[in-house]
Amino acid sequence: MLLASDRHTLKDLELWKEYEDMDKEYSSTQQYCRHIEITLSAISGFIAEGLSYFIGSSWGKDSTVLVHMFLSICPSIKIVFIRQLDNANPHSEDVRDNFLERFQPLGYEEISYTYTKANQGWYKDGRPIHWYRVLDELNRKYGIHVTGLRPDESGKREKRFKVFGMQTENSFAPFQFMTHRDIFGYLYAHNLPVHPNYAMLGGGRWERERIRTAAIGNSEGDGMGRAEWEREYYPDILARIAARPRV
């Protein structure tokens, strides 16, 4: 269920309908059913271990599916929405509100951090060290971080699964056999709220599986056309960021 946004163009919505028709068809295939079965089985096995854990959610496509899968097995899960306060994507809360109203999960929490004063000190060798400090704190507080990483997202993530599989000491990533087609198929099959970003397609110039829902204007992850996409769909937020007093 694509959530509405006045940032969508008519062409975007027409193209989204075509994608949705493909999702409907794919969600009835044996391949889709096999991938979902494997993933749910892995989640059931992980829960049965009795380890302390939390599910980190951004309310993008992967984390929305991840939370729903866990809830289908265990209603008393720990969900943590990790929010950026200043330049967060404005539609992430729309997905959150829709999901929470419909499913009313137990153990929901939000934490916030800010990029307002971010500078190169936030990063080391291209890694957002302050972000990892947030995760370290959550690991200490709640245990294993359950994440919606998939191997088809990048070569780095594919390597992570080849080396570690689904589970490490501090993380569990059950989507080892899920692709973006499975994720969108699951969203369609279960009528889950879909972040409006995924239909901001530039009339077909942007691939929906490459679109992200992270904070707007970050220096981290602005490659692969993301900076250009943000200028096309979120110029108002970028202008607001640029107008902030420098500190």
What is 10-242's CATH number, 3.30.750.24, 2.70.98.30, 2.40.50.140, 3.40.50.620? Answer: 3.40.50.620
Least confident of 17-21, 123-127, 212-216, 227-231: 123-127
Instruction: Say yes or no to pLDDT of 116 above 70.
Output: no
pLDDT at residue number 173 = 95
Q: Say if residue 56's pLDDT is above 70.
A: yes
The pLDDT confidence band at residue 127, using thresholds 50, 70 and 90, is low
Q: Is the pLDDT of residue 223 over 70?
A: no
Count other Cβ atoms within 10 Å, centred on residue 84. 19
The residue among 229, 224, 218, 174 whose CA lies nearest residue 62 is 174
Average pLDDT over residues 77-90: 82
Identify which has the larger pLDDT, 38 or 86: 38
For the chain, domain boundaries: 10-242
Residue type for 54, please?
A: F
Q: Residue 138's pLDDT is what?
A: 81
pTM of the model: 0.89
Q: Span 101-111, mean pLDDT?
A: 90
How far apart CA 89 and CA 84 sit, in angstroms, is 8
H or E segment and range at residue 236: helix 235-242
Alpha-carbon distance 119 to 89, whole Å? Answer: 20
If you average pLDDT over residues 58-76, what whole number do you get? 95
Residue 103 has pLDDT above 80, yes or no: yes
Average pLDDT over residues 17-30: 98
Amino acid 240: pLDDT: 84
